[in-house]
Amino acid sequence: MNPALSDHIIKVEVKNIGLSKFDNDYSCQTLISPISRIYLITQGDGWVQIADEKIILAPGHLYLIPSFTSCSYFFNKNLEHYYIHFRAELMSGLNVYSLFNTIRQLKASKLDWSLCERLLELNPNLQLPSIDPKIYQTKEWLSKPNKNQTLSHIFESRAIVEQLLCKFIKPRVNANYYDLMRYNLNPVLLYIQNHLSEPILVHNLAKMIHLSPDHFSRIFKKIVGYSPGDFIIFKRLEKAKLLLLTTDKPIKNIIEESGFKSLAHFSRLFKSHTLLTPSQYRKMRGDRWFR
């Protein structure tokens, strides 16, 4: 992998790690989470549906559920699994899963088992307080710091999650990555990420990398896959989704922090991208969990 990739990657924060066994059948419908999840099934079976793909869960396999991806799942009685919940962000502001193509499942190696065991050993206090997302996806638990970790434990934990996550990344990086480096769009992406609540003008972005607005817009769309204006909307919606899932802030405040002009403007764009109203989306952070 190109050494310059380190300019983009990946800030990993471990949120939860545990080993859980289900005494009864358990199900979840249409859950959306701001955190990514890796499961190692140790015994038992079930299934998970990630977006439109239904995957059978089997012992000795690892599974990746990306953040902000709709999923449903069913765990049969006696299923046991290591669960790892984490945040993975790119410093550039791009979504991890837009820069890299990933797979959803793979056979676990002996090393993978050892890594999961070691991660739990390092973080015994990060097990979930409940298997109910209505509890563990509350803002209190999502923002809870891991106070008992030493610096060496933090670094080792991040390295373990990065190593496991890398197994799901396909060898070929999206081709646009190399154009991203060539045209040095990093400052532009970081500026957008850090100024979403403010007006962002395309000609100011173009000046940052010494291009005309028209040339900049063409290059930006070729590399990122969106026009600058559409990408700004995408990032504002992404921020709004995060705030809806992780806070109880009034929608009015979320609109302001995300940089939208009005409630009507925000609601129209949000529903056109998610097919849900903001209030409906907020309810999907775990309110539809059932036994």
pLDDT of residue 289: 36
pTM value is 0.77
Q: Residues, the chain, total?
A: 291
Q: 90 and 23 share a domain?
A: yes
pLDDT tens digits, 62-96: 999 999 888 999 999 999 999 999 998 877 667 77
CATH code of 157's domain:
2.60.120.10
Residue 111 predicted with pLDDT over 50 = yes
Identify the domain boundary among 166, 200, 231: 166
List alpha helices for the chain, DSSP H.
Answer: 96-99, 110-122, 133-136, 139-142, 151-166, 176-182, 186-194, 202-208, 213-224, 228-246, 251-258, 263-274, 278-282
Structural domain of 250: 176-285
Phi first, then psi, for residue 168 (nearest 5°) are -90, -10
Residue 288 predicted with pLDDT over 50 = no
pLDDT of residue 199: 95
Q: Are 79 and 19 a contacting pair, CB within 8 Å?
A: no
pLDDT of residue 290: 32
Compute the average pLDDT of residues 21-50. Answer: 93
pLDDT tens digits, 261-276: 999 999 999 999 988 9
Identify the domain boundary among 122, 138, 166: 166
Q: 194 and 121 share a domain?
A: no
